Amino acid sequence: MQPTIQRLYFEFYRENTNEHSPRNEYEPSPANFFIPVIAEFIGSFLFTFLGIFPYLHIVNTQLAVSLLDGVALFTLMCILGRFSGAHFNPAQTLSVIFVGKCRLAVGFFMIFMQFLGAFLGAVYAQCVLQRSAFAVAMHAAIRWSKTDIYAPNRLQVSSVVVGMVPYVLRSYLQHGPLLLLLDIPLSVKQQIWRGPLA
């Protein structure tokens, strides 16, 4: 009995036409103006609010801040990215404005709301935390005192790497080959997935 070998072919197929694909033209409306701005406000607020907590009585502050900020930013980008692009940073918003991918009025209002969201996130964290806890967190965040900084040991680094590598590989394997097939007509996709021996 011979083994059956099935191969996937990743080839690009382009139609030779001069017709442009239909595009949705931009129509100014209040929704196109306020939705990205509100998304940036909410994202900056939550990112600042959640970013204060890892400084509270944790032995390895750098590792905790890195992990929590990374998880918070990834989560907020997944939730709010489709509304505003998930900048949460005035420098990134300015670069998007300079490249021409964002209108000037929307971009500057997004920057204002990012500052306002970050400010109100810090104020809300101060209201939620006790005064001494907030002072400790702000001191650690601003000063990075030597008593709070410890280099991660090998076990911590290896556990982070072992924990994150499967997620990165799964994401690539799940979405990588599919991205290559976006411009291919359906009949060619069906032939590719069935394989040459089907």
Tokens 């990134």 belong to which residue? 92
Q: What is the mean pLDDT of the chain?
A: 73
Look at residue 168 and tell me if it is in a domain: no
Would you say residue 47 lies in a domain?
yes
**Is 146 part of a structural domain of the chain?**
yes
What single letter denotes the amino acid at residue 24?
A: N
Residue 177 lies in a domain: no
151 token code pair: 């280099």
Total domain count, the chain: 1
Residue, of 9 and 164, whose pLDDT is higher: 164
Mean pLDDT in residue range 82-87: 84
Category of 104 on φ-ψ map: left (φ > 0), alpha (ψ -120 to 50) or beta? alpha
Q: Are 40 and 88 in contact (CB under 8 A)?
A: yes
pTM for the model? 0.58
Is residue 28 a part of any domain in this protein?
A: no
Confidence of residue 148 (pLDDT cuts 50, 70, 90): very low
Residue 179 gets the label, from left (phi > 0), alpha (psi -120 to 50) or beta, of alpha
Domain assignment of residue 64, yes or no: yes
Least confidently predicted of 8-17, 33-42, 106-115: 8-17
- Kindly state whether residue 104 falls inside one of the protein's structural domains: yes
Return the CATH number at 71.
Answer: 1.20.1080.10
Phi, psi for residue 144 in degrees, rounded to 5: 50, 60
78: containing domain: 34-152
